Amino acid sequence: MRVEYHPAVEAELNEIRRYYEERSPGLGAQFIDEFERQVLTLAATPQRWMVVAGDLRRCLLQRFPYVIYFRCVGGDLLRVTVVRHARRHPGYGRGRT
């Protein structure tokens, strides 16, 4: 399955990485590593994750308090639409396609 990212996701990931790097050198890279591993898992088993609304699904990261929202488009494309902190407003970014 191919993976595609909403344009805002890159900015969100850079902001999160910077935040963790400021707290502890290397922690930002660890966050990105976990995120990338989770996206590979999503691509392998997209139907496994909880449906939030319509075709929008969510996945919680294990080590970091972040949520990945994604959609399956057609049979071969996974589109990551939002990466947000678990305590951020639940509606944040849910309208992205």
Helix H or strand E encompassing 5? strand 2-5
CA distances from 41 to 22, 47, 95 (A): 28, 11, 24
Contact predicate 21/94, CB 8 Å: no
Q: Using one digit for the tens of pLDDT, what is the confidence trace for 4-62? A: 999 999 999 999 999 999 999 999 999 999 999 999 999 999 999 999 999 999 999 99
Which is higher by pLDDT, 75 or 42? Answer: 42
Residue 97 pLDDT: 75
Residue 75 pLDDT: 82
Please name the residue that has the structure tokens 């308090």: 65
| pLDDT category of residue 94 using cuts at 50, 70 and 90 | confident
Residue 32: partners with Cβ closer than 8 Å, 6 or more residues away: 13, 17
Is the model's pLDDT at 95 over the cut of 90?
A: no
Q: What angle do CA 86, 69, 45 make, to 5 degrees?
A: 115
Residue 38: partners with Cβ closer than 8 Å, 6 or more residues away: 59, 61, 62, 68
Please name the residue that has the structure tokens 């850079």: 14
Specify the pTM.
0.91
For the chain, domain boundaries: 2-85
CATH code for the structural domain at 2-85: 3.30.2310.20
